[in-house]
Structure 1
Amino acid sequence: MDAKHTADLVVLTIRDDLLKILLVVRENEPFRGRLALPGGFLRPGEDLERTARRELAEETGLEAHQLPLLQLHTYSDPDRDPRGRVITTAYLAIAPDLPTVAGGTDARSADWVEVDDSLREQLAFDHWIIIDNAMERIRSELEYTPLATSFCPQVFTLSELRRVFELVWGVTMDPGNFRRKVATIKGFVELTGRKRHNRDGGRPADLYRRGRARTLNPPFRRPVGAR
């Protein structure tokens, strides 16, 4: 029997001060009513990235033409789908301030859900494995690349950047130590010369943008107790 191919998407953003993932509720069998990653079958004439972008728009209403997609991994366990041999390629997307979503086509609904270990028992197929792999890649890349800035808007405060590390690594970080670590990494972030005034009347916060570095040197090591 020939294998069928699908594309699935791990789309992450920070909303309501929580790390959230885009999930759908399946309308059809198998796993009707269960949470799942958005995604679907490859169509004739499509490459997998086009499939991923089309399925994301159809199932969630999220327009993905400008959303950066990173190919994560291909999953080919023979028993991963009860319908038969289905091989999926997972894509990872990270962006700030992604909008409200709504279910469409074969998704009963779509929503942003907090990334939490409780999802392990709620997800269809092997989608928890895919999410777990994606999260470990992100946790690792935060140490060695400027990936954390992908969760931030074009200009951001160091407090906002620190919160990305805290949410992804599951730790609380000292603001002063964080600021000093960032300052030692050349090209990680750059001052914009602008400030953001706090609503409570406190000291205005410096605004930064992503720097030119592609790798962090020295690395930003995970603290003890981090995921």
Structure 2
Amino acid sequence: MNGVGHGQHALLTVDLVVLTVRDDQLQVVLIERGKDPFRGRLALPGGFVRSNEDIDEAAVRELAEEAGLDGRQLHLEQLRTYATPGRDPRGRVASVAYLALAPDLPIPVAGTDARNARWAPIDSVIDRPNALAFDHDRILADGVERARAKLEYTTLATAFCLPTFTISDLRRVYEVVWSTTIDARNFHRKVVNAENFLTPTGGKRASEVGRPAALYRAGGATVLYPPMLRSSAAHAGDVAG
């Protein structure tokens, strides 16, 4: 994180939960801190908001500086604000956390005060006490839960897909993010019938086994109707509608 001026009663930072599906796993960008406090510890990318800077602009800048990622190409939304006293040993610091999602992201490149940047499988970090610096364990858990919840009622799953994708690609996103198995036939029926969720491209992708698979792109809808519920997927191997 960048240095700050003195004499301020409270300081403002941004922290970023950047998620993608890599190697058939839900993964997050982590950086190794190059400065105190928590030098050498893993943390989410982020930093202080400059005095003349919009918060959204700060989030995009920090993604570029600390992980070499272009935030303008990602789905980027505010998660929540974290301002518990004592969360940062440098003083009273509030953080606006962001959730960022995208498909097929490159290996992150560390910059500024980050010594290293990497993708880490969620399962290797989440629910491990004090795995990350500051209160980033809590921020990461909240970001993952936000992504999982929004897959139920919104079309956010397509943010994890390339511009064109198959139904199998989309189903695998749900399975990886939710850590469950979903019935392929029922899933296909639900998503193709969901209002303006997917748009057929007319193209197909050849496969080594079976017939070529139809290609789709994201439709114009942002709300998923009917919704798909994790409880049904987890307990019955199906999606609810």
TM-score if structure 2 supplies the norm length? 0.88
Instruction: Provide the rounded CA distance (Å) in 2 between the counterparts of 1:116 and 1:23.
Output: 13
For 1:141, the equivalent position in structure 2 comes to: 150
The residue identity in structure 1 corresponding to 2:84 is D
TM-score if structure 1 supplies the norm length? 0.94
Instruction: Provide the rounded CA distance (Å) in 2 between the counterparts of 1:226 and 1:24.
Output: 32
The residue identity in structure 2 corresponding to 1:31 is F
Instruction: Provide the rounded CA distance (Å) in 2 between the counterparts of 1:225 and 1:125.
Output: 34
Deviations 1:42-98 (A, max 9, x none): 112111111111111111112223333211100000011111111000011111111
SS at match of 2:81: strand
Structure 1 gap segments, 5+ residues each: none
For 1:18, the equivalent position in structure 2 comes to: 25
Contact 2:29 2:120 (8 Å CA) reproduced: yes
The residue identity in structure 1 corresponding to 2:30 is L
Does residue 61 (structure 1) correspond to residue 68 (structure 2)? The answer is yes
Choose the corresponding residue for 2:95, options 88, 95, 118. 88
Does residue 209 (structure 1) correspond to residue 217 (structure 2)? The answer is yes
SS at match of 1:143: helix
Does residue 32 (structure 1) correspond to residue 39 (structure 2)? The answer is yes
Contact 2:182 2:233 (8 Å CA) reproduced: no
Instruction: Provide the rounded CA distance (Å) in 2 between the counterparts of 1:186 and 1:51.
Output: 35
How far apart are 1:117 and its partner, in Å? 5.9
Deviations 1:91-117 (A, max 9, x none): 111111111112111111001111126
Count of residues in Structure 1 that have an aligned counterpart in Structure 2: 226
Does residue 97 (structure 1) correspond to residue 100 (structure 2)? The answer is no
Structure 2 gap segments, 5+ residues each: 1-7, 236-241
The residue identity in structure 2 corresponding to 1:173 is I
CA RMSD of aligned residues (A): 1.7
The residue identity in structure 2 corresponding to 1:147 is L
